[in-house]
Structure 1
Amino acid sequence: MRLFATGLLMAMAAGFLVLHRLHTLYPGWDVPLGYAIAFTEAAMVGGLADWFAVTALFRRPLGLPIPHTAIIPVNKDRIADSMARFLRENFLTPQVVARRLRHFNLAAAAGGFLADPRSEEQSRVREGAANLFADVLESLDPDQMGGMVKAGLRRQLESVDAAPLLGQMLENAIADKKHLPVLEALLRKLGGVIEANEAMIREMIHTRANTIMRWTGLDEKLASGVLDGTYRLLAEIIVQPDHPLRGKIDEALATLAHDLRHDPEVQAKVARIKAELLANPAVGIWLDAMWERARAALLRAVRNPDKVLAGGIGESLGQLGHALADDPRLQLMVNRFARRTLVGVSTRYGGEIVRLVSETVKRWDARTVSDRIEGAVGRDLQFIRINGTLVGGLFGLAIHTVERFL
């Protein structure tokens, strides 16, 4: 388009020179040649003016230090702040988010998409959205974005009152007897550990036995009796649902669950343990690794959405889509939850999101900003040059016509 616009301007310039030459050679053609010359002359002025205007957005025309040119590179930081302010004021305020979502049935739209993800229209939408999301995700600074995600996750973990939550989970597990498989697995694991270290246990008993016991061989019988009794006890606890020790374990777990929910001292101890865990550098390393895995998996998923929707996952998502599309009560619940969640996100993290956009653009060098904006809107800007050339010529023709009749 740049070549076409420049070629049209050159054509007007060549036409202007040729017509002037013809006017010299054929004075009798003064009237028609006058109109044509007026058109080409005004077209050159319009084309050159618009070439200057378009070029001045991205660079200095002909490399000359003309004031108020190279507008985008010079004002890169101000443009970044303006973009962030525009996003904040028009998209990420709670009022705007709530208003836009009030009449939008997000659940039904998601349900239709999940129910038939491979329809032609859905495929185009999915592919376009996936590519856009992947491009945005790759263009953002992974360290800063990861820092924001990890900081948000850490704040959420710090704000969680872990003790009552653990107590409620434990009470529910005991009430539903979901702790029994875990208990049996632990008992089997304990038996396996004892069996694997049987030689060491026998040696410990042999070492601590007195000389008479070792001389008479009673230490070996004692070790065998201890081990056999332990194995028998573990087996009885596992196979007998009404074993007394099971009741003791259930009672101890119930007491622990009650203390987690109602004992301030236990709650303070759990909070202290949680704080120490979060302050441990190993937790930070774990969060870093989790974020990198999540980001890589997310990029793979959005770059290949068809693969993600294949197999059992796709079938399960299809069933969820039918439920969302056909159940008004489920739609109401999901839409209300989505609206509250997105409004909350815009309230808490809207400023951080737009600041991320602003700082990312500011870190780009001036050439990168110019190239990306010109690549996005450059075709339309060349149409401005073409229109300027043609409209300028038409205005020149009109002015020449008015001049002829004055």
Structure 2
Amino acid sequence: MIATGLLVLMAVVFVVSRLFQDRVTGLDFVTAFAEAAMVGALADWFAVTALFRHPLGMPIPHTAIIPTNKDRIADTMAGFLKANFLTPAVVARRMQAMNVARAAGDYLAAPSRSSTGVRAGAAELFAEALESLDPQRLGEQVRHGLAAQLSRLEVAPLLGQMLTAAIADKRHLPLMEAMIRWAGKALEANESLVREMIHERANALLRFTGLDERLANSVLDGLYRLLAEVLVNPDHPLRAKVEEGLESLAHDLIHDPATRAKVEGMKQELIANPAVATWWQGVWERLRASLIAAARDPGSQMGGQFAGAVAELGAALQGDARLQRQVNRFARRSAVGIASRYGDQIVRLVSETVKRWDATTITARVEGAVGRDLQFIRINGTLVGGLVGLIIHAVDVWVF
């Protein structure tokens, strides 16, 4: 509006001064200024307009330069980007002067960032990553990955070593005592079943005389007494037998091929069991939901762990010069590697994106990016043109 208004103003000044220059001394200089200013304004309006469209809609040659040559401009932009920013030498030189690790450490060590923004961002990114993945498919992939690892792992020697270490450190005793208590409770809960079994296996004479009931009571009392003695007496012979059996099992798990093969077969059957797959899917879904909820809860332990981890990482990057060199070297190599491997693809993406834009889109974006400077070209053209016209008129009057 200002540039166009200035053109209109020069036109008005030209008309007025032209009408009265014979009556008023010196108006010929004003007329010369206004006339040249109009020429300059119109010339620069034409030049600015010709960059983006045909002036007044007329298909004048070499106008609408940007829309007409957008494919060539796209290739030129891509080539400029490739030559000046995405060559390995340029990337390496720029990265050499940067301490990426220290800058990252300063940012992460700031308390406000480690406790709020970065932690929240990392937690939200973690939660969104878990949500964006297909739960069924992800659970299957995790299960197949675990199954593959378990299939390659021979568990029998590992179990044997664990059992041997537990026996040596007496860590099996609490488990043995718990099993004894469990056996006692199981026997108590199934007394009627034991009595019924003895009653069914007793002959008619024992049932007639009622001795089967006395026999059942004796059997139950004997079993209760045996379990109690084993529980309270650390040196009970049955305990020794159990420990001897455990030691033999541990030895066989490590050294006996038949036992190891049997355990391996049981492991493979367990992995292939569909019930295990169903159970794992339920476990995984609950675990995934819990992780998402914990990541998004600011007061959760996971949130505090995120904040603490971020702050510790920032402090390490700030103060450890060796870590800084390693991180900077990794960042530099990564950037150079990206430029080497994907530089052509990046610039091709730029080129193809610009080429896909229609004429209206590229005109609007370039014109919007340059902005008001285009109109200052017109304003400057008006004023400079007027001054040049004034100088020419002055030379014409005073010299010739």
Alignment of 1:46-85 (within 5 A): none
Match of 2:180 in 1: 187
* Contact 1:46-1:393 at 8 Å conserved across structures: no
Match of 2:112 among 114, 117, 120: 120
- Residues in 1 aligned to 2:137 and 2:37: alpha-carbon distance in whole angstroms: 67
- Residues in 1 aligned to 2:283 and 2:225: alpha-carbon distance in whole angstroms: 43
State the Cα distance separating 1:120 from its structure 2 match: 2.0
Match of 1:208 among 201, 205, 227: 201
Cα pair distance change 1:230/1:142, threshold 3 Å: closer
* Contact 2:157-2:253 at 8 Å conserved across structures: yes
* Contact 1:158-1:275 at 8 Å conserved across structures: yes
* Contact 2:10-2:37 at 8 Å conserved across structures: no
Match of 1:156 among 128, 139, 149: 149
* Contact 1:43-1:391 at 8 Å conserved across structures: no
- Residues in 1 aligned to 2:299 and 2:51: alpha-carbon distance in whole angstroms: 50
- Residues in 1 aligned to 2:137 and 2:49: alpha-carbon distance in whole angstroms: 49
Match of 1:282 in 2: 275
* Contact 1:42-1:392 at 8 Å conserved across structures: no
* Contact 2:11-2:38 at 8 Å conserved across structures: no
Match of 2:371 in 1: 389
Match of 1:226 in 2: 219
Alignment of 1:245-324 (within 5 A): 245-308=238-301
With structure 1 as the length reference, what TM-score do the two structures score? 0.56
Match of 1:135 in 2: 128
* Contact 2:294-2:302 at 8 Å conserved across structures: no
* Contact 1:16-1:41 at 8 Å conserved across structures: no
State the Cα distance separating 1:175 from its structure 2 match: 1.3
Cα pair distance change 1:24/1:247, threshold 3 Å: same
State the Cα distance separating 1:390 from its structure 2 match: 3.7
State the Cα distance separating 1:274 from its structure 2 match: 1.1
State percent identity of aligned pairs.
43
State the Cα distance separating 1:129 from its structure 2 match: 1.6
Q: Give the letter for the 2:369 counterpart.
A: N
CA RMSD of superposed structures (Å): 4.3
Cα pair distance change 1:25/1:126, threshold 3 Å: same
- Residues in 1 aligned to 2:164 and 2:45: alpha-carbon distance in whole angstroms: 88
State the Cα distance separating 1:30 from its structure 2 match: 3.8
State the Cα distance separating 1:254 from its structure 2 match: 0.9
State the Cα distance separating 1:179 from its structure 2 match: 1.4
State the Cα distance separating 1:275 from its structure 2 match: 1.1
Alignment of 1:351-366 (within 5 A): none
Q: Give the letter for the 2:112 counterpart.
A: E
Match of 1:173 among 158, 166, 178: 166
State the Cα distance separating 1:293 from its structure 2 match: 1.7
Local SS of the residue matching 1:189: helix
CA deviations over 1:172-194 (Å, ceiling 9, x no partner): 11112111111111111111111
Q: Give the letter for the 1:249 counterpart.
A: V
- Residues in 2 aligned to 1:37 and 1:137: alpha-carbon distance in whole angstroms: 61
- Residues in 1 aligned to 2:365 and 2:295: alpha-carbon distance in whole angstroms: 34
Match of 1:91 in 2: none
Match of 1:55 in 2: none
State the Cα distance separating 1:130 from its structure 2 match: 1.6
State the Cα distance separating 1:169 from its structure 2 match: 1.3
- Residues in 1 aligned to 2:299 and 2:365: alpha-carbon distance in whole angstroms: 38
State the Cα distance separating 1:217 from its structure 2 match: 2.1
Alignment of 1:357-376 (within 5 A): none
- Residues in 2 aligned to 1:130 and 1:199: alpha-carbon distance in whole angstroms: 57
- Residues in 1 aligned to 2:225 and 2:277: alpha-carbon distance in whole angstroms: 44
- Residues in 1 aligned to 2:181 and 2:164: alpha-carbon distance in whole angstroms: 23
Q: Give the letter for the 1:257 counterpart.
A: A
- Residues in 2 aligned to 1:141 and 1:395: alpha-carbon distance in whole angstroms: 56
What is the aligned residue count? 277
- The structure with the larger Rg is 2
Cα pair distance change 1:195/1:398, threshold 3 Å: same
- Residues in 1 aligned to 2:294 and 2:225: alpha-carbon distance in whole angstroms: 51
Which runs of no fewer than 5 residues in structure 1 stay unpaired?
1-13, 50-65, 72-102, 340-369, 371-381
Local SS of the residue matching 1:306: coil
State the Cα distance separating 1:235 from its structure 2 match: 0.5
Cα pair distance change 1:149/1:309, threshold 3 Å: closer
Cα pair distance change 1:231/1:40, threshold 3 Å: farther
CA deviations over 1:330-379 (Å, ceiling 9, x no partner): x9xxx9xxx9xxxxxxxxxxxxxxxxxxxxxxxxxxxxxx9xxxxxxxxx
* Contact 1:163-1:271 at 8 Å conserved across structures: yes
Local SS of the residue matching 2:300: helix
- Residues in 2 aligned to 1:26 and 1:240: alpha-carbon distance in whole angstroms: 121
Which runs of no fewer than 5 residues in structure 2 stay unpaired?
15-30, 55-68, 75-99, 328-352, 354-363, 393-400
- Residues in 1 aligned to 2:298 and 2:159: alpha-carbon distance in whole angstroms: 37
With structure 2 as the length reference, what TM-score do the two structures score? 0.57
Cα pair distance change 1:41/1:308, threshold 3 Å: farther
